[in-house]
Structure 1
């Protein structure tokens, strides 16, 4: 992408907004150097990175990226033998600690299993572990970069001596400031420092009283800062200790710098990986701030943005529009008056393409798709050049001429007010000729124009479609919504009438317009009316569908809850039965033990009543089984389809649909069809009407068919077999809508499943899941 196009579309402003979300200078540098790529594999990799970061941010909120510095200059200087300062070493330790935190953070997120991560763990795995160096630096240098007393025994002794000397000096000088003559001879009763030596402020006339050395004087010359003779030796001692301290500190830093140099390659790698990770999360934060989504990629030059917004406009001000180009038509000609939003549409499209090819999410709804173009060209705005003495028209033509030297079938071309700035007749002819040339090369084009001649152009070319930006005549203002397929109207007469212009003048003006123009305007008006009516019907249908889906989901929840409750009760009953059987078994075992004991003690001597009593105890150990007696018909009944029955185990009424295997029948209870044993049915009455046509039996592992099919992790062939079987079961279960969960992944499974559903004879329509239904990882199929 050339720099002029990036500047024209204001891509630099996108970069500036992106860089604000970086946590480190290195990450900010990555953001500021970002440029769109024309390699599909690279673009996909970048988008996958952003997707992982956005998912982590959505789940965790914050990412521990604080404390990262660009330590490459420090590591390089240590490598060539330089001595690093305490601050530089502390930055190295801070960066190592940050790498440890982010590595653990990513590992924890992955182990929780809420989101699938691939790229981020790969990058954290490449970060070298330098914990020993981190600890050594932190045991040597404090947070402000000062070498700690504990860094060496020698330094500890030196600083102890320095504190002792300072204490003696201060004690001596403070005794002088508290003396009887201090108020008279001193300018102020304080102890201060000049030239790294402790002094007191003495009035000029009493200089000789204290002796010692004068180190400074006030600006007026009335006060001298004197080091009294009584503390000169103490100050000398302190100065010697200070020199020793500096030497010892330098020695410690030199040793630590040498050790840092050994780890320089690892520090270079660490900085690079942390910068990339910071940049990846910068993209994720930027996506969240814009409420942006990941677009699907293709290499067919197809763009379909769903409710796309201009990325530089405030979210509450930007008007969303659907933009589609590249399949049924390769060129869009947007006509209409100024200030209607035509240029905003051009920039929205161009910026969204550049953002996607830079690995950034775009401000559009889920399911939006974009192409990877080899080049993007834009001729937008007034580019008049005073230095070159070119008019606006000439400037545009110079720009377009340069573009025509490079445009091919892998290009996106944006023309703003094509052919303007010259005679309308010549300008419109030139605009048509330019469009014909660019269309012939196979490029994707969006052009705006004032010329009414180009309205007909859209109808006369197969690959071209008209469009306009909606204008509300009632409010006399544009709505900024893009209307594909409807050319723009000037609305001059309607606006004039609304603001009170004389009707006679308006009618006179109408008479001057040609019949063809009247027909075109009437056609546009009719299209606009039809569009509004269609939108109203679509909204009503969508509302009805939403209510129906909600009712269906509620019913599904109730059915699922019922089955869960039933399973719990059955499990409880099985547990109680098992306990009873176990108790009976234990009782029987006790009786058998007693019988054996009696036999061993001499069975011949046993009394008859003892045997009878033991036999009764053995029989009593068997749990009593209660059988349910039919309330109405004890005899075997000849069941037939159409009979109304009561399913005893459920307490619900239903009707028999058809015979199943064995002694089971398919019974319909409301929206639920299930197989019921004859012993679990109670006859109510026979159906006098014509017997319903038998339907195929659901031959699954259970009578219940879920409204969702999860294919994640399945192989392609196995997944399609499962979809085929599942659709049969769902149709027989009476479902009107099912959800196929295929995940996003590489997109292969998703495309295969959606292709199969599109061709299936019993699938009426498909769509991606909504924001609460799984998004692009789920396909919703409407069944016939």
Structure 2
């Protein structure tokens, strides 16, 4: 990355960033990226950081969807790429095979980016047309095992054929020589030996002068002499010449192939850069997945929620999440608390998050907002040096001096155990002076301390703030929970007592404490204790609030589900009603046809009335069956028996038979409980349907619908048509008027849907024209 920051080597070591880099080096796929990650350093170019984070984000989204990203395992071919375009130079078969592998990855990536719609990656990935051409060119020469193909050129093909023929001659000749000397008993072993490209006979040393050939070597014991038969010497020389010719031809072919692909040198370098660039972000995305990290935001304050140091995750160690918020005006944070309470881990973690984010890495936290720094400086640990004759205090002061010289408003500084190594009063006074200078420079300083004067200074200075690590004074152990805004006690006396120091020593130590310091320490303990108590109450309130919120969501969802269920039931009922009506519609149409056919004689009318009465009875019976009675009867209750209009009094209840006796007007009637209805109950009585057997015949064949709305007119028309059929009328007139034509259109549309309408049309002009429709009934 450009615009690299100033980072002292101690900061990288102290924060553990070197371990993050080692993980990235180990898990990247491209060899050359190992160098990239070893040299990875933060930048202060915000636009560049955000761009790189976004590139990783697209790959992360695919990983979150459980998509499998492509592993681009490519060896370092940077030196081979330099051979492109150099006259007479060539790339060997192994590196040509690596270039081909790289090109195959290019095709896969292009397809993957397109299928997954990764826009930013699609935009920076070149087209694959040239890639296919280069692969074809390499495939003509190099096989899948990275060897030159025997038919890579006509000349090479001839050489290979000559070698094969010569090998057969040598094999035949050596077989002859071997069998000859086996029969003579001159050999140590009945098989040939291949050494340094030569075929040799293993001859007993005592018989070496009896075998015609050239002595090549002896065994370690000296008992075997390895001889090349004179008869195949000339053949071997020919073979060596052919092999030399083959190698020359291969070099010639490779020079030509390298020259051919050199024409696309820039394109190949572009592809190689893409593959490396993709692998960088692929590796970063994998780290983000493993550490459950998210993209950091940048601003003028530091906010971390539920942040987890990635080193703990990678080493599978437990870690208490860190929550911290540092406003822009706060330039010095003084963290106090017990030893081994987590103070140093906090400042190291914030330093690590900052440097990681500015390297384009994701941060393991629920929420991340960081500042941009141009320099990262630290003073952590014992810097005592025997070789440089430096004490602990002197070493610290040397580091602090360097920090004061380099730091400015863009610096992040972490200092552990500030003011230690000398007299506490001197150390505190010097530390306050140093911190005032650092605040003047505008740098952000994160410091840990046990010195009370520093805590008081932080409380009083407008640009400084106290912070502490929580301590459980009941269990006498740290909780590793960070608190902003309040100082912490060191709990040295309590910890010493817990570690087994004699109680008398502990008591004397308490008496010897400076009174002011003792009071301050006790005050801090009380504040911390109340803080923990208050925090617990707040957390309990949050838990209850969260529970109520969840219950409210469940209740609202239940309400929504109930509404859906009601709509579904209504829909089903309407569907059932539609089916019910349709089932009777056919029967009614048949009855109408029967009435028309018989000219409305008494028998057909009687049949129709009977059908209507039976249908209404069926509906009434079904409604009665659906009425559920959940009522406990007692003697003396006033009830009504279904089917009887009068009510009566219950005089007896038989528990075994579940039957009830009711007295009505002096008469006793025994009935089932399900047949009883409590008088004045909320249960609706089934409606009584009255069928009027008197059929009203029409006095006129004209229906006047003028002035009616469409829905009213259609209902009136249906009733008029029913009466017209029962009156045996064949032609009727419908007076609808001219108006806007809406009523006329609705009537005509409705008439088209009725089966027994034979025909309809407007009346002649002299009889009313388009204001009247004449209807013929079949």
Q: Give me the TM-score of the superposition, normalised by structure 1.
A: 0.68
Match of 1:284 in 2: 285
Correspondence 1:90-109 to 2 at 5 A: 90-109=97-116
Match of 1:523 in 2: 523
Is the aligned partner of 1:56 residue 2:62?
Answer: yes
Question: Matched residues in 2 for 1:199 and 1:609: separation?
Answer: 126
Match of 1:759 in 2: none
Relative to structure 1, is the Cα distance of residues 408 and 206 closer, same or farther in structure 2, using a 3 angstrom cutoff?
closer
Relative to structure 1, is the Cα distance of residues 100 and 78 closer, same or farther in structure 2, using a 3 angstrom cutoff?
same
Relative to structure 1, is the Cα distance of residues 577 and 247 closer, same or farther in structure 2, using a 3 angstrom cutoff?
farther
Question: Matched residues in 2 for 1:24 and 1:158: separation?
Answer: 38
Question: Matched residues in 2 for 1:375 and 1:588: separation?
Answer: 94
Relative to structure 1, is the Cα distance of residues 310 and 513 closer, same or farther in structure 2, using a 3 angstrom cutoff?
farther
Relative to structure 1, is the Cα distance of residues 503 and 312 closer, same or farther in structure 2, using a 3 angstrom cutoff?
closer
Match of 2:294 in 1: 293
Structure 1 residue runs of 5 or longer lacking an equivalent are: 111-116, 595-605, 632-682, 686-784
Match of 1:40 in 2: 46
Aligned pairs, number: 615
Question: Matched residues in 1 for 2:293 and 2:515: separation?
Answer: 47
Tell me if the contact between 1:38 and 1:375 (Cα under 8 Å) persists in the aligned partners.
no
Tell me if the contact between 1:68 and 1:95 (Cα under 8 Å) persists in the aligned partners.
yes
The SS at the match of 2:403 is helix
Question: Matched residues in 2 for 1:84 and 1:156: separation?
Answer: 21
Deviations 1:216-259 (A, max 9, x none): 44455543433334444544554454344334333332221221
Match of 1:442 in 2: 442
Match of 2:80 in 1: 74
The SS at the match of 1:466 is strand
The SS at the match of 1:324 is strand
| 1:398 Cα offset (Å) | 3.0
Tell me if the contact between 2:198 and 2:236 (Cα under 8 Å) persists in the aligned partners.
yes
The SS at the match of 2:40 is coil
| 1:143 Cα offset (Å) | 3.5
Deviations 1:48-82 (A, max 9, x none): 23323332223336422233233332232131021
Is the aligned partner of 1:451 residue 2:451?
Answer: yes
Question: Matched residues in 1 for 2:21 and 2:454: separation?
Answer: 36
Tell me if the contact between 1:128 and 1:270 (Cα under 8 Å) persists in the aligned partners.
no
Tell me if the contact between 1:127 and 1:270 (Cα under 8 Å) persists in the aligned partners.
no
Question: Matched residues in 1 for 2:255 and 2:589: separation?
Answer: 86
| 1:148 Cα offset (Å) | 1.8
Relative to structure 1, is the Cα distance of residues 588 and 244 closer, same or farther in structure 2, using a 3 angstrom cutoff?
farther
Question: Matched residues in 1 for 2:96 and 2:564: separation?
Answer: 62
Match of 2:6 in 1: 2
Relative to structure 1, is the Cα distance of residues 130 and 492 closer, same or farther in structure 2, using a 3 angstrom cutoff?
closer
Which deviates more from structure 2 when the two are superposed, residues 85-94 or residues 545-554? 545-554
Tell me if the contact between 1:71 and 1:267 (Cα under 8 Å) persists in the aligned partners.
no
| 1:351 Cα offset (Å) | 1.1
Is the aligned partner of 1:261 residue 2:268?
Answer: no
| 1:88 Cα offset (Å) | 1.6
Tell me if the contact between 1:90 and 1:138 (Cα under 8 Å) persists in the aligned partners.
no
Match of 1:743 in 2: none
Is the aligned partner of 1:324 residue 2:325?
Answer: yes
Relative to structure 1, is the Cα distance of residues 576 and 165 closer, same or farther in structure 2, using a 3 angstrom cutoff?
farther
Question: Matched residues in 1 for 2:184 and 2:240: separation?
Answer: 29
Correspondence 1:463-542 to 2 at 5 A: 463-473=463-473, 476-498=476-498, 506-542=506-542
Question: Matched residues in 1 for 2:71 and 2:26: separation?
Answer: 14
Match of 2:133 in 1: 132
| 1:195 Cα offset (Å) | 4.9
Question: Matched residues in 1 for 2:586 and 2:146: separation?
Answer: 78
Structure with greater Cα Rg: 2
Match of 1:718 in 2: none
| 1:185 Cα offset (Å) | 0.8
Question: Matched residues in 2 for 1:245 and 1:584: separation?
Answer: 98
Tell me if the contact between 2:202 and 2:224 (Cα under 8 Å) persists in the aligned partners.
yes
The SS at the match of 2:451 is coil
Deviations 1:258-314 (A, max 9, x none): 21211211111111111111001111112223233322211x143435344363673
Match of 1:11 in 2: 17
Tell me if the contact between 1:290 and 1:315 (Cα under 8 Å) persists in the aligned partners.
no
Tell me if the contact between 1:466 and 1:485 (Cα under 8 Å) persists in the aligned partners.
yes
Correspondence 1:91-490 to 2 at 5 A: 91-110=98-117, 117-125=118-126, 129-179=130-180, 181-182=182-183, 184-207=185-208, 209-219=210-220, 221-232=222-233, 234-298=235-299, 300-309=300-309, 311=311, 314-327=315-328, 329-363=330-364, 365-473=365-473, 476-490=476-490
Structure 2 residue runs of 5 or longer lacking an equivalent are: 626-681, 685-778
| 1:406 Cα offset (Å) | 3.8
Match of 1:88 in 2: 95
Question: Matched residues in 1 for 2:50 and 2:278: separation?
Answer: 17
Is the aligned partner of 1:552 residue 2:552?
Answer: yes
The SS at the match of 1:60 is coil
Which deviates more from structure 2 when the two are superposed, residues 343-352 or residues 550-559? 550-559
The SS at the match of 1:79 is coil
| 1:576 Cα offset (Å) | 8.6
Relative to structure 1, is the Cα distance of residues 583 and 243 closer, same or farther in structure 2, using a 3 angstrom cutoff?
farther
Tell me if the contact between 2:291 and 2:310 (Cα under 8 Å) persists in the aligned partners.
no
Relative to structure 1, is the Cα distance of residues 630 and 222 closer, same or farther in structure 2, using a 3 angstrom cutoff?
closer
The SS at the match of 2:27 is coil
Question: Matched residues in 1 for 2:23 and 2:489: separation?
Answer: 37
Deviations 1:696-718 (A, max 9, x none): xxxxxxxxxxxxxxxxxxxxxxx
Question: Matched residues in 1 for 2:231 and 2:538: separation?
Answer: 99
The SS at the match of 1:149 is coil
Tell me if the contact between 1:49 and 1:119 (Cα under 8 Å) persists in the aligned partners.
yes
Cα RMSD of the aligned pairs, angstroms, is 4.3
Q: Give me the TM-score of the superposition, normalised by structure 2.
A: 0.69
Deviations 1:406-443 (A, max 9, x none): 43333322222222222222221111122223224433
Relative to structure 1, is the Cα distance of residues 442 and 170 closer, same or farther in structure 2, using a 3 angstrom cutoff?
same
Question: Matched residues in 2 for 1:152 and 1:564: separation?
Answer: 77
Tell me if the contact between 1:218 and 1:224 (Cα under 8 Å) persists in the aligned partners.
yes
Question: Matched residues in 2 for 1:455 and 1:543: separation?
Answer: 33
Question: Matched residues in 2 for 1:127 and 1:389: separation?
Answer: 64
The SS at the match of 1:405 is helix
Which deviates more from structure 2 when the two are superposed, residues 23-32 or residues 309-318? 309-318
